[in-house]
Amino acid sequence: MRFIHISDLHIGKKLRDRSLEEDQQHILSEILRIVDEIDPDGVIIAGDVYDTSSPTVDSVRMLDWFLTELSGRDLDTFVIAGNHDSPEKLGFGNRIFEKNRLFISGVFSGTMDRHTLVRGDERVDVYLLPFIKPAHVRRMYPDEEIDDYTDAVASAIAHTEIEEGVPKIAVTHQFIVSDGDSPVTCDSESVFVGGTESVKASVFDGFDYVALGHIHKPQSIGRETVRYCGTPLKYSLSEKDHQKSVTIVDITADGVELSYEPLMPLRDMRQITGRLEDLIAYGRNDPGREDYIYVTLTEDAIDALSRLREVFPNTMNIDVVGTEGIKGVTEEVAVERMDMMELFSQFYELRTGAPLTDSQRKLVADLMDDDMGAIM
């Protein structure tokens, strides 16, 4: 049987206050295109469906559209809540949706939810475990000793009725480690560094494939078949070199085979470095002008952000690195926070190479009091 494994959609996520709605709509359409191409029996969404527990109307509409599209195809869809999701909100209506082959595990029930897929002679069992903390499991089993995340997940598995002799998939959203091997993290996850939330991969030894969410870089942990499929989009600059993909899982009684289908975003995320004039000249012929661009200038320049945005409209940030090292971060947010005097004195210093003297500063302040008062 064949499954598509995706996770960490983070629907509604913004990049420095910029909506990614178009990008997310595009990448979900791409996933649907892949679904049509490879014709899976099931689609697994391993948590962090939304970016926040209070998704906007637009985000709810997008997920509604995506799940409706999936339900219109001949396949089962499995969804678990991640740490970003509200378990109750995501789990709303789940018993009703099961009639349309949509299985959502939102609120932790004390065990993993098991669903059986049968296609001809083949059978695969899918076990769903939403994101849990030790406290959630202690509440269910007060007499058990649950000291950490590994104990918590192990307890949830121990209380689940697991049928042997059937190929099994576990779907979970945790920080999985294996014999000193930890996943490579990036800047868009909210994970605790230090490993207090880590779950030993060995608790999943009984499962043929473990479909993980939580970590945003695609990677396997311990064995190839314990896998983070990663986010469908780059959600931070630290992910600029990731090749995002969906994981395709072919599972039979004989074993598991994995393959990966690359995901092509509407706009890529890139870092470019150089002098302002060179970057502008280069940008005029860059087919990826619309990409999310992080700029490192090798020398300071006046009005760099608005000039760069004429060629790269989605310039996200500018760092200036001079011979004296990193000089500072120029960014519109930073500019917005400055008052008029700060802005003018920086401008003056940039143009003349010298700061305002006290008497000049007073003169400017007086002028601003007079004229700005009239303007504003």
The pair of structure tokens assigned to 289 is 């002008």
187 vs 224 by CB, closer to Mn ion: 187
DSSP letters of 270-289? EEEEE-HHHHHHHHHT-TTT
Q: Where are the alpha helices (DSSP H) in 141-272?
A: 149-158
Cβ at position 8, least distance to Mn ion in Å = 4
Exposed/middle/buried for 224, CB within 10 Å: 0-12, 13-18, 19+? exposed
Cβ at position 215, least distance to Mn ion in Å = 8
Cβ at position 6, least distance to Mn ion in Å = 12
Ranked by CB distance to Mn ion, the top (closest) residue is: 48
The pair of structure tokens assigned to 220 is 């396997």
Q: Is 204 helix (H, G, I), strand (E, B) or coil?
A: helix
Instruction: Tell which residue, 6, 4, 8, 222, has the closest CA to residue 131.
Output: 8
Cβ at position 12, least distance to Mn ion in Å = 12
221 vs 256 by CB, closer to Mn ion: 221
List residues near Mn ion by CB under 5 A. Answer: 8, 48
6 vs 320 by CB, closer to Mn ion: 6
What is the distance between the alpha carbons of residues 279 and 286, in angstroms, rounded to a whole number?
Answer: 10
23 vs 208 by CB, closer to Mn ion: 23
Cβ at position 235, least distance to Mn ion in Å = 8
8 vs 125 by CB, closer to Mn ion: 8
Region of 51 please: left (phi>0), alpha (psi -120 to 50) or beta.
alpha
| Start-to-end Cα distance in the chain | 67
Torsion of CA 132, 137, 138, 143, to 10 degrees: -160
What is the distance between the alpha carbons of residues 77 and 346, in angstroms, rounded to a whole number?
Answer: 56
81 vs 320 by CB, closer to Mn ion: 81
Cβ at position 174, least distance to Mn ion in Å = 11
8 vs 76 by CB, closer to Mn ion: 8
Cβ at position 240, least distance to Mn ion in Å = 18
Secondary structure element (H or E) that encloses residue 330, with its range: strand 325-330
What is the distance between the alpha carbons of residues 128 and 81, in angstroms, rounded to a whole number?
Answer: 10
8 vs 151 by CB, closer to Mn ion: 8
The pair of structure tokens assigned to 143 is 């007499």
Cβ at position 198, least distance to Mn ion in Å = 16
